[in-house]
Structure 1
Amino acid sequence: MSNAVPSTLRTVLADRIRTRGLAVDAALVAGGAVFTGLMAQVEVPMWPVPITGQTLAVVLVGATLGARRGALSMLVYGLAGLAGLPFFAGWTGGLSSLALPSFGYVIGFIPSAAAIGWLARRDWDKRFFRATAAFTLASAIPFVTGLPYLAIALANLGLPHSLGVVLAEGLYPFVIGGVAKALIAAGVLPLAWRAIGRRSR
């Protein structure tokens, strides 16, 4: 009788930690939220949406922790920021962040982390070209919520909010950076797996 683990049940990086349990999972989730908060401060200030390191953090956290823990980590990140911790760009936080035109992207971090975590558990993070495709897809997900939120926020501020304006302000400036972040993540994760493989020999 074979004891092989089906490909759909393969591990993510966090599963390689020797000590497991609820406390470890909670620490991983919290650590992912803190890491994302720190990466939010790697910022090119722009308005209405700044360029930050958050998206890179989101895909790395999701791929490392898996879908459930990754999504939960992003939920904790968003709630902690709304509770007042300075987790958002520019060391900001609080309920007033809901009025920011960029907050829709933060909402999108949750499904983005879940998607890359789901793909990582199916080995999409172990080879560069597949990882690039997976991380590019996950990096695009925050725009699904970010762009409509941006349009509504601009309208509430009495500013132009046509499709062209929203795309010019909330999508086009981030395409090159998004691809670059996907390439960085696609390089880092396979290297991490190789390092773990060498240590386990």
Structure 2
Amino acid sequence: MTVAVAPSPVRHRVLADAIPGSRVRDGLLVVTGTALIAGIGQLSVPLPFTPVPLTLGTFAVLLVGAALGPVRAALSVLLLLALGVAGAPVFADGGSGWALASFGYALGYLPAAMLLGHLARRGADRSVWRTAPAALAATAVVYVPGVLWLMGFTGVGPAQAVAMGVVPFLVGDTIKAVGAALLLPGTWRMLRRQ
């Protein structure tokens, strides 16, 4: 009797793998990923109809997830969360702590970065047509804990939480996903030319 074994999925390099080094490199990449998410996430616009600001944090998470891969990206987000909960002003508008209406979105950064990192390991960041849906899927993952946290924090029901925490951000998050879909494959093309 012969048992067929399914081939394991192809594992691709992520952008960070193009940088020579080892554990020290990985540590520096994790800290750089945290700094990128925290820094870009400071670019925010408060919206009068929701306690959740419009930020570029999700865009940074997409880039960090795809560029660092699932493990280093997860460590970057975990470091961001630990710093923020400890009081460092790493969340939007220099926020810190967990008593924020938008903290659930920061929690959603973890599975989003891991998902896009995992998909990048399978080559999803090599073309616009594969990166865009992967980035949209990762962005959608951010909404789940974001909306659940928003419901608990503000006491609103699911429909109102979606109206406050998803609908106002759909266009902007689609633009961020398209931006990542243009930037990541373009970076791979530049690396191949070198």
Q: What TM-score, normalized by structure 2, do the two folds share?
A: 0.92
Q: Residue in 1 aligned with 2:92?
A: 89
Residue type of the partner of 2:190?
A: A
1:32 CA drift (Å)? 0.4
1:181 aligns with 2:181: no
CA distance in 2 between partners of 1:78 and 1:29 (Å): 13
Residue type of the partner of 1:150?
A: L
Q: Residue in 2 aligned with 1:163?
A: 158
Residue type of the partner of 1:185?
A: A
Post-superposition Cα deviations, 1:123-164, rounded to whole Å, max 9, x if no partner, equal 100100111000010011111111111000012xxxxx0222
CA distance in 1 between partners of 2:101 and 2:87 (Å): 18
- What residue ranges of structure 1 are gaps of 5+ in the alignment? 1-5, 156-160
Residue type of the partner of 1:50?
A: P
1:142 aligns with 2:142: yes
Q: Residue in 1 aligned with 2:4?
A: none
CA RMSD of aligned residues (A): 1.1
CA distance in 1 between partners of 2:87 and 2:121 (Å): 33
CA distance in 2 between partners of 1:176 and 1:48 (Å): 18
Q: Residue in 1 aligned with 2:3?
A: none
CA distance in 2 between partners of 1:15 and 1:163 (Å): 41
Q: Residue in 2 aligned with 1:194?
A: 189
Q: Residue in 1 aligned with 2:52?
A: 49
1:61 aligns with 2:64: yes
- What residue ranges of structure 2 are gaps of 5+ in the alignment? 1-7
Matched residue SS, 1:99:
coil
Residue type of the partner of 1:17?
A: I
Task: Tell me how many residue pairs correspond in the alignment.
Answer: 185
CA distance in 1 between partners of 2:88 and 2:159 (Å): 34
CA distance in 2 between partners of 1:130 and 1:21 (Å): 29
Q: Residue in 2 aligned with 1:16?
A: 18
Greater than 6 Å deviation, 4+ residue runs: none
Residue type of the partner of 1:180?
A: I
Paired residue for 2:79, among 70, 76, 79? 76
